[in-house]
Amino acid sequence: MNDAAKRGQVGTPGALAERDAQVFRAGVHLNRLNNEFEDFLFGRIDLLLGKDGKKGPDGAYTAVEPADGAVRDDDTADIAETLHIGRIGVLDSEYAPLVIDWRAPAAAPFYRSTPVDPGRVVRRRVIRSKGRKVLGVEDDLMRPELKATLDGHELPVIGDGALMAALGQARSHTMRDIVASIQAEQDLVIRAPAASVTYVEGGPGTGKTAVALHRAAYLLYQDRRRYAGGILIVSPTPLLVAYTEGVLPSLGEEGQVAIRAIGSLVDGTEATLYDAPSTARAKGSYRMLKVLRKAARGVLELGPGAGPGSPAASGSGATGANGTGSGANGRNGTGSGANARRGTGSGTASASDPGRSRSASAPGAAGSGQLALGDEDEAAVAPAGPPNRLRVVAFGRRLELEAGALERVRRNALGGTAPVNLLRPRARKLLLDALWEQSGAATRHSDPELAAELRSSFDEDITSEDSFIAFLDAWWPELTPKAVLAAMSDERRLGRWARRILNPGEVRRVARSLRRDGHSVHDIAMLDELQSILGTPARPKKKRELDPLDQLTGLEELMPVREESQRERAERLAQERTEYAHVIVDEAQDLTPMQWRMVGRRGRHATWTVVGDPAQSSWSDPDEAAEARDEALGTRPRRRFELTVNYRNPAEIAELASKVLALAMPGSKSPSAVRSTGVEPRFRVVRDSLAQTVREEAARLLDRVDGTVGVVVAMQRREEAARWLAGLGDRVVALGSLEAKGLEYDATVVVSPAEIADESPAGLRVLYVALTRATQQLTIVSADRDEPDTNGVPDLLRD
Ligand SMILES: Nc1ncnc2c1ncn2[C@@H]1O[C@H](COP(=O)(O)OP(=O)(O)OP(=O)(O)O)[C@@H](O)[C@H]1O
């Protein structure tokens, strides 16, 4: 900046422009350094001389192994190189490295080196600081047998291990990064080349989520241009998104990475509802794909605005003919549709059943405005369907297609699997063919050129007729995913489309769930599938307002409104993006087949990182999900990694959880816990009031830990559990069993293991998740159904 000021004094326009550019760049850099200031420098390694004595671009020796003779026979050695590791790289004024970026190759030994395989590292030091103050230093000796000297002095060793210090810290409501203490097996995953699919399995607390987030930051650092296409991180719940999303900015990465809950992947729609396990099973399975395909075609026969709350057309692109169609379009459409449907109840005769004779011949009559029926009218007025007669005048003749002919045209047009909305031009062409044939004009000219000319003026005549346009809008409206889903809320209709695919109970439950206001996480995958079944007809692109921030990358970091504008911008970019360069799936074991299809569409050309733990799957049919996963990942080669160490739970809690693991997945191995607290899990039996007992236990734990307390209950108890805890403060939260996924607390209360286990076919695995959330203390509250023994240990947790 000082340099720049001097340049300005020259006064030529060129110098002034250069000054501005330099000030701008320096400002961006300064801002970045300021942002990374907290805990900026967190590591140091002292190394032996490298084998070949070669140095890399960051000025560090590149060899992993020490030079021959670096260690003398009497086990003494000299430290040849000391590197400091920080959140970003810093060079001194001579361009020599002062601080190495944690993602740079030279920093790898900081993470990789272990006493078993130390490489050149003699001592690894982790430094904790706040502002300018060093709070603590923890050393690990990688070659404890060596007597190493640095500048003639012996290397001192301080503290008792960085990892343990990190793990012992209290938890807050947001996750911390682990840059200072990434372990060797985790580092292998973080730095794995992103050529294909990186597949990571590991038990609870092995750092899968942490590793996935650090991998995103690493990939961006390695090849920013390649990942300019964006990295998508798919998380199971909005709670986990909120818990983890602060980690990337702390690693200096934001903007290019979108962390989204699986229920928020479709823009403009957010999952707010839960489905009962049996409904979720029907909605998430491959079978639903067949139902959706049938529904998408079946809805066409209903016509626009034809059914209770099921206006099928979007209204866009229509010439005012299907005014009510827009009811189901857009955000609120289905909501009002759903309201309208309420009074009807399932199984009522649908107003949309085709069959009512209608004609497009009276101008304007095809407008669905006149077709729209409210629920109240439904019983009184005969049901309306799409127009089933087309009358036009061409070459002075009246031409007419009756229901049968129209049906043949429709079937013909719908042949194959092409997106329904893109078939409209084909249907239009087939209609014209049928009319042309009826007109007899085809035989008038033997000269093919004249015949073609005649045909084209015939087509023009008809297609410019208002009644034809109105007919087409009503007969082949543009469908929206929400409209199709709304149409599926009618049990009778759904029963027709799902015949021999879903059983009657499933049809009833799915239809009923679709009549609620809002969407569930499984509905989102159905909407996305429908979008691909229906397709979007090409439209002229809307011009976006010019955003000055687009022109100047980095400018936003200088703006006073930085936080807001950056977020808005990231959101806009995310919305415009439908495919990503890299997709990271967290808690992959939970994706249903339909969700795999949805995520797969976002990474058709991407490289992938998939992390999960089969033992924590809440999906009832893992084999079907695995098939869908393999389909989404295609034939790309996979590199498999396994994480084996549990960094979250103390041994006492891990041991208890392993009992449930043995029931849930006999034969599978628990990850080994790295620490022990000496505090055994506590068992408490409910005497009078469940609410009172849980409240007492939560309050007890709040007294015993500094950080957060989570109370995990069966899904159906979520709301009452929040009331039990009222007034205890914001360090304690109530969670449904499925919401606990991926989260962690200093202490947890798990309420009625049996109730959680009985909730769904995957209940034991869900219970396993619930039991593995605590970093320090765990209390189990048992009710009668848990059949506790005299010590209060419930049946499921006994040896
Ligand atoms: N190398 C490490 N250094 C310090 N803390 C770590 C390390 N690895 C993991 N942790 C901590 O361990 C806890 C568990 O990590 P994480 O949530 O990523 O595990 P997970 O495998 O995703 O667990 P789950 O399967 O239960 O969701 C987190 O608090 C994380 O910060």
The string of pLDDT tens digits covering residues 589-598 is: 999 999 999 9
Q: Whose CA is nearest to atom 13 of ligand 1?
A: 648
Cβ–ligand 1 contact at 182 (below 6 Å): yes
**Residue 202 CA: which ligand 1 atom is closest?**
21
The single-letter DSSP state of residue 198 is E
Cβ–ligand 1 contact at 646 (below 6 Å): no
What is the per-residue pLDDT for 424? 85
Cβ–ligand 1 contact at 186 (below 6 Å): yes
Q: How far is the CA of 86 from the centre of ligand 1 (A)?
A: 21
**Residue 616 CA: which ligand 1 atom is closest?**
25
Pairing state between β 397-401 and 390-394: antiparallel
What is the per-residue pLDDT for 569? 58
Q: Lowest-pLDDT range, 55-69, 552-566, 650-664?
A: 552-566
Q: Whose CA is nearest to atom 3 of ligand 1?
A: 181
Cβ–ligand 1 contact at 773 (below 6 Å): no
Report whether 389 contacts 362 (CB < 8 A).
no
The reported pTM is 0.76
H or E stretch covering 257? strand 257-261
Where residue 105 falls (left for φ over 0; alpha for ψ -120 to 50; beta otherwise) is alpha
Q: What mean pLDDT comes out for the span 220-247?
A: 86
Cβ–ligand 1 contact at 712 (below 6 Å): no
Cβ–ligand 1 contact at 673 (below 6 Å): no
The separation between CA 514 and the C-alpha centre of its own chain, rounded to angstroms, equals: 22
What is the per-residue pLDDT for 751? 97
| β-pair partners for 149 | 78, 154
- Taking the C-alpha atoms of residue 775 and residue 648, their distance in angstroms, rounded to an integer, is 5
767: pLDDT strictly greater than 90: yes
735: pLDDT strictly greater than 90: yes
Q: What mean pLDDT comes out for the span 165-187?
A: 77
- Return the higher-pLDDT residue of 14 and 741: 741
Of the pLDDT bands very low, low, confident and very high (cuts 50, 70, 90), residue 564 is very low
Q: Lowest-pLDDT range, 36-50, 276-290, 640-654, 721-735?
A: 36-50
Report whether 473 contacts 537 (CB < 8 A).
no
Q: What mean pLDDT comes out for the span 339-348?
A: 32
Q: What's the chain's average pLDDT?
A: 81
The single-letter DSSP state of residue 792 is S
SS (H, E, C) 651-672: HHHHHHHHHHHHHHCCCCCCCE
- Taking the C-alpha atoms of residue 475 and residue 366, their distance in angstroms, rounded to an integer, is 9
What is the per-residue pLDDT for 376? 32
What is the per-residue pLDDT for 349? 30
Q: How far is the CA of 176 from the centre of ligand 1 (A)?
A: 10
What is the per-residue pLDDT for 443? 75
Q: Whose CA is nearest to atom 9 of ligand 1?
A: 207
Cβ–ligand 1 contact at 205 (below 6 Å): yes
Coil/strand/helix, residue 637: coil
What is the per-residue pLDDT for 573? 58
Cβ–ligand 1 contact at 163 (below 6 Å): yes
Pairing state between β 41-47 and 153-154: unpaired
Mutational test site, ligand 1, from 42, 113, 167, 176, max ligand atoms within 8 Å of CB: 167
What is the per-residue pLDDT for 435? 86
pLDDT over 90 percentage in the chain: 39
What is the per-residue pLDDT for 346? 32
Of the pLDDT bands very low, low, confident and very high (cuts 50, 70, 90), residue 318 is very low
Q: Where are the alpha helices (DSSP H) in 521-561?
A: 521-534, 548-551
Instruction: Tell me the chain's radius of gyration from C-alpha atoms.
Output: 32
* Interface ipTM: 0.98
347: pLDDT strictly greater than 60: no
H or E stretch covering 23? helix 13-35
Cβ–ligand 1 contact at 235 (below 6 Å): no
**Residue 613 CA: which ligand 1 atom is closest?**
25
**Residue 612 CA: which ligand 1 atom is closest?**
25
Q: How far is the CA of 558 from the centre of ligand 1 (A)?
A: 34
Q: How far is the CA of 432 from the centre of ligand 1 (A)?
A: 64
- Return the higher-pLDDT residue of 328 and 641: 641
- Taking the C-alpha atoms of residue 39 and residue 100, their distance in angstroms, rounded to an integer, is 14
**Residue 647 CA: which ligand 1 atom is closest?**
12
339: pLDDT strictly greater than 70: no
559: pLDDT strictly greater than 60: no
Cβ–ligand 1 contact at 740 (below 6 Å): no
Q: Whose CA is nearest to atom 16 of ligand 1?
A: 207
Of the pLDDT bands very low, low, confident and very high (cuts 50, 70, 90), residue 574 is low
Q: How far is the CA of 261 from the centre of ligand 1 (A)?
A: 19
Cβ–ligand 1 contact at 652 (below 6 Å): no
The string of pLDDT tens digits covering residues 188-199 is: 999 898 778 999
**Residue 166 CA: which ligand 1 atom is closest?**
4
748: pLDDT strictly greater than 70: yes
- Taking the C-alpha atoms of residue 589 and residue 74, their distance in angstroms, rounded to an integer, is 52
Residues of each annotated binding site: 202-209
- Taking the C-alpha atoms of residue 19 and residue 2, their distance in angstroms, rounded to an integer, is 10
Cβ–ligand 1 contact at 204 (below 6 Å): yes
Cβ–ligand 1 contact at 236 (below 6 Å): no
Expressed in percent and rounded to 5, the helix, strand and coil fractions of the chain are 45, 15, 40
The single-letter DSSP state of residue 60 is S
Q: How far is the CA of 766 from the centre of ligand 1 (A)?
A: 18
Q: Lowest-pLDDT range, 118-127, 371-380, 481-490?
A: 371-380
Coil/strand/helix, residue 515: coil
The string of pLDDT tens digits covering residues 419-449 is: 888 888 888 888 888 888 887 777 777 787 8
- Taking the C-alpha atoms of residue 141 and residue 456, their distance in angstroms, rounded to an integer, is 85
What is the per-residue pLDDT for 385? 60
Q: How far is the CA of 98 from the centre of ligand 1 (A)?
A: 30
Q: Whose CA is nearest to atom 1 of ligand 1?
A: 182
536: pLDDT strictly greater than 70: yes
Cβ–ligand 1 contact at 181 (below 6 Å): yes
Query: Residue 289 carries which side chain, given as an amino acid letter?
Result: L
365 backbone dihedrals φ, ψ, rounded to 5°: -70, -20
Q: Whose CA is nearest to atom 25 of ligand 1?
A: 204
Report whether 91 contacts 120 (CB < 8 A).
no
566: pLDDT strictly greater than 80: no
Q: What mean pLDDT comes out for the span 491-500?
A: 94
Q: Lowest-pLDDT range, 121-125, 501-505, 731-735?
A: 121-125
CA angle 29–244–206, rounded 5-degree value: 115
Cβ–ligand 1 contact at 570 (below 6 Å): no
Mutational test site, ligand 1, from 178, 616, 739, max ligand atoms within 8 Å of CB: 178
H or E stretch covering 732? strand 732-736
**Residue 183 CA: which ligand 1 atom is closest?**
1
What is the per-residue pLDDT for 655? 95
Q: What mean pLDDT comes out for the span 238-260?
A: 79
- Taking the C-alpha atoms of residue 535 and residue 480, their distance in angstroms, rounded to an integer, is 9
- Taking the C-alpha atoms of residue 516 and residue 403, their distance in angstroms, rounded to an integer, is 35
Q: How far is the CA of 313 from the centre of ligand 1 (A)?
A: 48
Cβ–ligand 1 contact at 772 (below 6 Å): yes
Q: How far is the CA of 208 from the centre of ligand 1 (A)?
A: 6
Cβ–ligand 1 contact at 202 (below 6 Å): yes
Q: What mean pLDDT comes out for the span 264-282?
A: 91
Residues of each annotated binding site for ATP: 202-209
Cβ–ligand 1 contact at 84 (below 6 Å): no
Cβ–ligand 1 contact at 308 (below 6 Å): no
Cβ–ligand 1 contact at 782 (below 6 Å): no
- Return the higher-pLDDT residue of 564 and 118: 118
Cβ–ligand 1 contact at 210 (below 6 Å): yes
Q: How far is the CA of 434 from the centre of ligand 1 (A)?
A: 66
Mutational test site, ligand 1, from 744, 745, 765, max ligand atoms within 8 Å of CB: 744
Q: What mean pLDDT comes out for the span 750-761?
A: 95
